[in-house]
Amino acid sequence: MQQKEGYLEDTAYINTVNQIAFLYADRYPDSALQILSGIPERSNVMAFRRGETDSYNVLGNAWQTKGNFDKALDFYNKAYTLAEKINYEKALPGLLGNIALVYFNQGNYAVALQKFYASLKAAEAVNDQLVIRSSFNNIGTIHFYQGKMKEAEIAYQKTLEISREILDTTGMITAYNNMGEVNLEQNDPSKALTNLSIAYQLASRKNVPDLLVAVTNTLGDSYFKLDSLQKAADFFETALRIARQLGNARATCKALIGLAKVQSKQGLLKEALVSGREGLAKAQEMGQAQLLRDANEVVADIYEKMGLGSDALQYYKQYKVYADSLVRIESERAAANYKAEYEFSKKELDFQRQALQQRWLIFSAIAALISLLIILWIISRSRKRLSITYKDLQHKNLIIEGQKKKAEETLSQLKTAQVKLVQSEKMASLGELTAGIAHEIQNPLNFVKNFSEVSSELLDEMIQEVEKGHHEEVKEMAVDIKQNLEKILHHGNRADAIVKGMLQHSRSSTGQMEPTDINKLADEYLRLAYHGLRAKDKLFNATLKTDFDISIGNINIVPQDIGRVVLNLLTNAFYVVDEKKKSGVTDYEPTVSISTKKLGDKVEIKVSDNGSGIPQNIIDKIFQPFFTTKPAGQGTGLGLSMSYDIVTKGHGGELTVNAIENKGSTFTIQLPIL
């Protein structure tokens, strides 16, 4: 009995040591190696095979952190062979992923992809969601380094989807950061900043320093792309400070490379060379092909700017070697092959599932046939009795057919009337919008006209000064004319955007959802609804209030449809505050507010007014077709009904109203984030 208890104590000890070493392996690999000294051998003597497998795995992690990929691979292979031998299925997906990471860091993408897909398949077999998420993320990263941005984005989207399902904040931060990097490569820095702002907020809120430094580096890249060099430098310096505190060699290297690029573009070539060479040294320590490529490229570029061609050529050759190795054709073929194998295995499982379903269908068909025979036998017995009532049924059928035709004619008339009323409501909405757009478009057109007239006058003066030989005055006038042309272009683009928005609203909705900035949409329709009413009544004035949640970013909606809903709610709000003002209420200031807010997996849009509210006895009818509180001839009673259908049926959301009589109303739209 004592021997058994000692054995349990030893296995618990081995497990504890493995867990402690695992925590140290990523940041303090030497400490992890020291902690694990003798542990695999002790596990082997005890015949504790799982403990021995875990020890080899953690040793592989430590050696990979130190950049000794051969030793790391040796320990991972030992762990994988032993895990297969003892049927340690839970460990197999993670071990395959670790083996893949070694080949990935060496730049051998063909083998890395094979192992990542194998890891994904093994993880799905045991439903290990964390490894599934990690595999998709790593597959996306390989596509990213191969320059295949569409495939990378699909893999990162899958990573984000799984991370949300299992409430894995780390995975969500990683996915948003990686999608931001893809956006940068697609020359869409504004979209990159949207994804990166979410990643940065999550990393700060959850206090995940390693991910925070990764996001900070990517933010530096974003501002570098936007040519905002000082902001980029600030982010890279912050990332460098955090990375050095954490001992995170990869993040340190990326920050140094980014800082070198910024300094080089700022003309600080000496400082840039120091940063670039330090980053290259870090990359050489780790032996990671991607960082070696980037570091050699930036150092070569700096030497070229310094006029040191031979030095630049030396580093450019190294850059070319690593760049070619990362995008070689064999890797791309392997990516397609491994993806096809993975998809084939999934289809094979589907075929097996379909075969089982077919067997059940055959069994069900036989049972149904037997039931049918019994029913036919019963019918044959009662046929004589049925023949007596046959003539009565024929007579009743003739009556029913006549009633059916009348009902169909009535339904057709109702549908025609409904289409006309819906079109009438849409045209009324378009009229409100058009009036607002007319006001909005007048401002940029006035600017275009004024700056064109000023530029024409300047050109006349320039001709006179050229004839007089006053070259300095001519230069000054040319600068003024250029500035005027830039302003004309700016306001022309603004007018173009307004017209496009009007065309988009007026055309029939395709029902196709697309990523839309809900804050921009809400702000645009607030202004257009306000100016639409002002176009009818110049004396009307109201206070406009907005409160937009900038963390929302883009959401998938049908913009024409949601735009009509927002416009309808705002138009109603302006109408009720205007009516209350006209009623002679003292000390009353008409106010309409619109706000957006992210609530977990939903986005909330609120439209509020301080009008006369809605009586409680009719509030339950407010979304019913043809019900309106407006005087006869001023409303179809379809606006809120159509809005309710667009939100609930078209987008799977909710549209509710909360009103206090004589105080005001608030309409709330909740849309799911798809």
Give how far Cα 85 sits from Cα of 80, 89, 323, 575, Å: 9, 10, 39, 77
> Is residue 337's pLDDT more than 50?
no
Query: Which pLDDT band, with edges at 50, 70 and 90, does 8 fall under?
Result: very low
> Is residue 194's pLDDT more than 80?
yes
Residue 491 CA to residue 562 CA, distance in Å, equals: 27
Pairing of strands 602-609, 591-599: antiparallel
383 membership: H or E segment, kind and range:
helix 383-468
Q: What tokens does 623 get? A: 């979304």
Q: What tokens does 588 get? A: 């009353």
Give how far Cα 613 sits from Cα of 407, 544, 576, 605, 663, Å: 40, 18, 8, 19, 6
Residue 301 CA to residue 323 CA, distance in Å, equals: 15
> Is residue 419's pLDDT more than 60?
no
Classify residue 88 by its DSSP letter.
-
pTM for this model (two decimals): 0.43
Mean pLDDT computed over 592-620: 91
Q: What is residue 514's three-state secondary structure? A: strand
**How many percent of the chain have pLDDT more than 70?**
77
Helical axes 471-506 vs 383-468, angle rounded to 10°: 170
Q: What is residue 668's three-state secondary structure? A: strand
Residue 442 CA to residue 588 CA, distance in Å, equals: 31
Sequence length of the chain is 674
What residues does each domain of the chain span? 347-385, 396-506, 514-672
> Is residue 51's pLDDT more than 60?
yes
- DSSP annotation string for 5-64: HHHHHHHHHHHHHHHHHHHHHTT-HHHHHHHTTTHHHHHHHTT-HHHHHHHHHHHHHHHH
Residue 383 CA to residue 500 CA, distance in Å, equals: 70
> Is residue 406's pLDDT more than 70?
yes
> Is residue 670's pLDDT more than 90?
yes
Question: Given its phi and psi angles, is residue 626 left (phi above 0), alpha (psi -120 to 50 degrees) or beta?
Answer: left
The two counts, helices (H) then strands (E), for the chain are 24, 7
Residue 429 CA to residue 571 CA, distance in Å, equals: 9
Among 176-185, 360-369, 473-482, the least confident range = 360-369
pLDDT at 502: 56
Residue 490 CA to residue 328 CA, distance in Å, equals: 44
Q: At a CB cut-off of 8 Å and minimum separation 6, what does 333 contact?
A: 110
> Is residue 418's pLDDT more than 50?
yes
Q: At a CB cut-off of 8 Å and minimum separation 6, what does 645 contact?
A: none
pLDDT at 436: 53
- DSSP annotation string for 385-424: HHHHHHHHHHHHHHHHHHHHHHHHHHHHHHHHHHHHHHHH
Mean pLDDT computed over 47-59: 89
Helical axes 383-468 vs 329-381, angle rounded to 10°: 150
163 membership: H or E segment, kind and range:
helix 149-165
pLDDT at 543: 92
Paired with 665 in beta bridges are: 609, 659
Q: Domain 514-672's class? A: alpha beta
- DSSP annotation string for 561-626: HHHHHHHHHHHHHHHHHHHHHHTT-TT---EEEEEEEEETTEEEEEEEE-SS---TTTGGGTTSTT
Residue 511 CA to residue 158 CA, distance in Å, equals: 24
Residue 494 CA to residue 516 CA, distance in Å, equals: 18
Q: What is the mean pLDDT of the chain?
A: 79
> Is residue 21's pLDDT more than 80?
yes
Question: Given its phi and psi angles, is residue 227 left (phi above 0), alpha (psi -120 to 50 degrees) or beta?
Answer: left
**How many percent of the chain have pLDDT more than 90?**
15
Pairing of strands 554-557, 591-599: unpaired
Query: Which pLDDT band, with edges at 50, 70 and 90, does 349 fall under?
Result: very low
pLDDT at 365: 65
Paired with 604 in beta bridges are: 597, 670
> Is residue 313's pLDDT more than 70?
yes
Closest of 282, 313, 311 to residue 295, by C-alpha: 282
Residue 530 CA to residue 416 CA, distance in Å, equals: 33
Closest of 206, 210, 150 to residue 179, by C-alpha: 150
> Is residue 622's pLDDT more than 70?
yes
pLDDT at 555: 92
Residue 59 CA to residue 620 CA, distance in Å, equals: 67
**Mind listing the pLDDT tens digit for each residue in 83-107?**
888 888 888 888 888 888 888 777 7
User: Mean pLDDT: which of 115-124, 396-405, 576-585 is highest?
Assistant: 576-585
Q: What is the greatest pairwise CA distance in the chain?
A: 119
Q: What tokens does 659 get? A: 């009103």
Among 97-106, 208-217, 386-395, the least confident range = 386-395
Lookup result for tokens 């000692």:
6
**Mind listing the pLDDT tens digit for each residue in 242-287?**
888 888 888 899 999 999 999 998 899 999 899 999 989 988 887 7
